[in-house]
A and B are shown apart, each in its own frame.
Chain A
């Protein structure tokens, strides 16, 4: 057997690979969501502040939002394959409309002191199409929420590996919490690791979340955990998944590498309002689910946000 076959066979057998791919793809989804919302915010800002724009700006805005939407559809379908065809079909519809109405040269209007410039009219129409749709049609923003629902529906089938998983038991004011931990830095975990204590955790994001969970001195050992969590971690990243349905959050991911553009926190929760997310999160609702994230902020903000999430879950 060749060396490369040994390496790739070992990787394929590792549960770490699946989780790394899942988290990487989810992070890509967030990056594309950020690109989408940044483009929309930029368009709104140009309208509000009376910028001088040209036709090329409007065309490039349409292309940017559609390309980032397309990438989000791709990311969502990699994470949750079933039902992806419908998303691609809807995306095709948005592109077709854009080609008909927004990616065409803007006709020059006749000179008039009171007429709105055609570039501004076109930009208003584009923003309207993105945010509210036209004539009862679907908007790109509502399509974003459809994509999120697609993800959420698929997350119900997440399975958790049992190999190479450590266990951490925490006693908080809320109850006993069991964290099943998988170390993503180890490509091939061998067997079941021993229990760990919070001080053993080298992962800063998880460490920050656990700060909110204090041991209650003299507490009796409750027989059943109030909630159970699965955490996939490496030195500067954590993904935390709720194993039980009765949790405020289903999925939290965060990084703290010190690279402001790359660090993010994401949280997916059910029946959560904006006030349930830490300050500064961008929150979008889709049905009963709320999808919140922050990106590109100072490390202190990331730390504060992770601690706040920890308090919501464990305190």
Chain B
């Protein structure tokens, strides 16, 4: 049986809890996970070396998730972007979907719920 290629996943959220927990949870299945609290650094890294999946918070001080998504998709159309919304920003998530996001997930969520979305995204790549 052919071994599954590990996914390269980028997680961007200015709250450390998100990156810390998702890195641990998503790496368990063998995927390669990099986490960033600075969206500008993340976009710079992505431009140099695109990832398969980008998971980004929508509301960040430095740069919002929509801008991140636009930069990512401009660099790599194949990358799937998943938006993390806060407790009351589902409307913003809908806007992200209309602009090309693959899906969104609202906090609070379990890492397993995000894993299910990532797996769907990987199948459609």
If A60-B87, A117-B20 touch, does A54 touch B110 (CB 8 Å cutoff)? no
**In the complex, A57 has a CB within 8 A of chain B:** yes
Q: Contact at A52–B86, with CB atoms within 8 Å? A: no
Complex alpha-carbon distance, A127 and B11, angstroms: 29
Complex alpha-carbon distance, A220 and B18, angstroms: 74
Nearest A residue to B110 via CB reads A51
Complex alpha-carbon distance, A120 and B21, angstroms: 12
Q: Contact at A49–B107, with CB atoms within 8 Å? A: no
Q: Contact at A119–B15, with CB atoms within 8 Å? A: yes
Nearest B residue to A53 via CB reads B108
Task: Collect the chain B residues with CB atoms within 8 Å of residue A194's CB.
Answer: none
If A111-B16, A117-B16, A117-B20 touch, does A52 touch B87 (CB 8 Å cutoff)? no
Q: Mark interface residues in B1-39 (1 if CB within 8 Å of A CB, else 0).
A: 000000000000001111011100000000000000000
A296 to chain B, nearest CB (A): 22
A103 to chain B, nearest CB (A): 14
Q: Contact at A57–B111, with CB atoms within 8 Å? A: no
Residue of A52, A55, A56 touching B21 (CB-CB under 8 A): A52
Complex alpha-carbon distance, A109 and B109, angstroms: 22
Q: Contact at A50–B111, with CB atoms within 8 Å? A: yes
**In the complex, A11 has a CB within 8 A of chain B:** no
Name B26-76 residues within 8 Å CB distance of A: none
Complex alpha-carbon distance, A117 and B23, angstroms: 14
Nearest A residue to B105 via CB reads A52
Q: Give the A-B pair count, Cβ closer than 8 A.
A: 47
Q: Contact at B15–A54, with CB atoms within 8 Å? A: yes
Q: Contact at A51–B108, with CB atoms within 8 Å? A: yes
Task: Collect the chain A residues with CB atoms within 8 Å of residue B88's CB.
Answer: 56
Q: Contact at A56–B87, with CB atoms within 8 Å? A: yes
Q: Contact at A119–B17, with CB atoms within 8 Å? A: yes
The contact size tier of chain B is 10 to 19
Nearest A residue to B20 via CB reads A117
Name A27-49 residues within 8 Å CB distance of B: 46, 49
**In the complex, A108 has a CB within 8 A of chain B:** yes
Task: Collect the chain A residues with CB atoms within 8 Å of residue B111's CB.
Answer: 50, 52
Complex alpha-carbon distance, A108 and B15, angstroms: 8
Q: Contact at A52–B16, with CB atoms within 8 Å? A: no
Task: Collect the chain B residues with CB atoms within 8 Å of residue A55's CB.
Answer: 15
Q: Contact at A54–B87, with CB atoms within 8 Å? A: yes
Residue of B20, B22, B86 touching A54 (CB-CB under 8 A): B86
Name A93-135 residues within 8 Å CB distance of B: 108-109, 111, 117-120
A→B interface (CB under 8 Å): 46, 49-57, 60, 108-109, 111, 117-120
A-B contact pairs, 14 of them (CB 8 A): A49-B110, A50-B111, A51-B108, A52-B18, A52-B107, A52-B109, A52-B110, A52-B111, A53-B107, A56-B107, A57-B108, A117-B17, A118-B17, A119-B15
Extra contacts, 19 of them, besides A56-B107, A111-B16, A117-B21 (Cβ < 8 A), are A46-B108, A49-B110, A51-B108, A51-B109, A52-B17, A52-B22, A52-B109, A52-B110, A53-B107, A53-B108, A54-B15, A54-B87, A54-B108, A56-B87, A56-B88, A57-B108, A108-B16, A117-B17, A119-B15
Closest CB pairs A-B (n = 4): A117-B17, A53-B108, A51-B108, A56-B87
